[in-house]
Every structure is written in structure tokens, then in C-alpha cells.
Structure 1
Amino acid sequence: MNILDQLNQDLKDAMRNRDKQRLSVIRSVKSSLQNESINKGEELTADEILTVLNREMKQRKESLYEFKKATREDLVEKTNTEIQLLSEYMPSQLSDNELQQIVNETMDEVGAKSKSDIGKVMGAIMPKVKGRADGSRVKDIVHQSLA
């Protein structure tokens, strides 16, 4: 079952169970997917759906940071729940060891030797780990490896 079908099924289940928060998150994601599809003028590929999901997740993580900074515990709790719900639709995250292995392989592919090669390495890695690793995590591992 693809992500869109899963979202539709979960939307129906949330309506039946009167789960307002799940319903709100799913509607928000479906709305973003629909907007992206309209902008593109055709149906989204699985990769594009994943990009939209990543964007939604990133927005919520940024909001969470701001809410914590403003000590808005009510919004922190709500946003944490939204992040958990969204993570159900994301692919499983790479472990640090798996990510380090991909970084090492990519460094060998592009011939990276120094910190000046970070841009080349990041450009080659990000398509490989799309949706499975946060960019800041990747950047930290690349920095450590090239140090």
C-alpha cells in the first residue's frame, strides 16, 4: 500500500474513531500533497510525496523548537504528538552506523579528502538518504569524517 492510500485509509479510521488530532494532521498532509500536485500539474511520484512529508516534518520540528523556547508547553505537547503521527508515514531512519557507511562510500566515490569537499559529499549523499536521515545529522557525520 502506498503512502497516499495509507493516508486515505487512516483518514477514514480517524473519522470513525473521532480522533481529532490524527484527523487534523492527516488532513494537513493531504492538503499539502494536493497543493503540490496542483502546482506540478500531475500526480506526485513516491519520491515527491516523500519530499512533501519531509517538509511537513521539518516545519513541525522548527515549530517545536520555537514553542520550547517560548515555554509554551501546551503547544509543545501538541506538536510532539503531530511529529509522532507524521513519523508513521516516513521511512525508517538510518542508524548512525548505516549513515557512516554511506558517508564513507560516498567520500570514496567523489574523492573527498578535506573540509573543502563537504559540498561535493553532501550533494552526492542527500539523494541517497532522502527521507531516511536528517540533513543536519548527515552534515555532522560528514564534518567528523573529513576532520
Structure 2
Amino acid sequence: MLTSVSSPDDHRTMPTTAPRAPHRTPNAQGSTVPPRVASVSAPAHPRWISDVRRFAAVTLGSWSLPPDDLDSAILVTAELAANAAVHGRADLSVTLRLTGRTLRIEVTDFGPNTRTAAIDTSGDEQSTDEHGRGLIIVRALAHRLDRINTANATSMIADLTVASP
């Protein structure tokens, strides 16, 4: 990653770090392919979830994911974003990263914590509540699901194994 600062003397841009080669993963034919990464941010409000879903559909479709994997990934993205919109902080970001056959979907809510509701991560499938089944769906589709909490943010990270695009 190359970051830059402006020099006050001559207004040139000077690199502050050297660029690094992206991590490359061998594909089925043995060649290396750099990871594909795309991100979007939005207010953490339910009305923005359709835009997040559309972002995932367009992005992952352009990466030529097979139809079944595409449907699963869009569903996981929408479920995690909906949880962030309902239970999270003021803003959310979604990052999609395809490295080899692993698709990582990371949804982070951040900003002031204005909500008091908590996400039930117990996985209690016997619940009679009409809500709260999103993470059960995500767990069924992902081979890994992690939650990272900090003072200012919560990230839900789901890894899906996809067929080679």
C-alpha cells in the first residue's frame, strides 16, 4: 500500500511507504492470482441494506462466482449487514475479499454506540421469535464465522468456500 504526504516546500507527493506486492494464491492451474477486494460503507440503517445487497451482487457477479456460491454470498452479506443495521452503531462497512477459493465477507459497524440491543449469537434454533435467525443461516453457509468486538466497532467475519470462478 502506498500512502503519500505533500511536501510544504514544493507541493510534490512523496511516498511514505514502499508498495508491497499483493499476496497471491495458486489457482487450480498452478498460476497465482491476486486477491480481489471491494468495500462499501453506509449508514447503519435498514433502508441501506438493499444497496449493500446490490453492491454484493454486482461485485461478486463481476468476479464470476458460480450461481449457487453467488446466491449464498449475497445472502450472507445481507444478513450480516442487516444485523449491523439493527443492532450496531451509527455506520457500517462491508468488505468482500476473494482469495483463491475463500470468500471473506466482513461487516463492521462503527461510530457512536446509540443502540442497546444485543445480537443473540447462541445459535438457539428452537427460538419462537420471528427474528434472530440470520446468524443461523450464516453459520449454515459459512465454513467459519468470527466476531471481533472493540470499544468503537464490531466486526462479523464469514468465510465461504467457493468453486473456482
The question of a shared fold, defined as TM-score above 0.5 by the shorter chain, is answered with: no
Q: Greater helix share, 1 or 2?
A: 1
Does 1 or 2 have the higher relative contact order (CA < 8 Å, sep 6+)? 2
TM-score, normalised on structure 1?
A: 0.28
Relative to its length, the structure with more strand (as a share) is 2
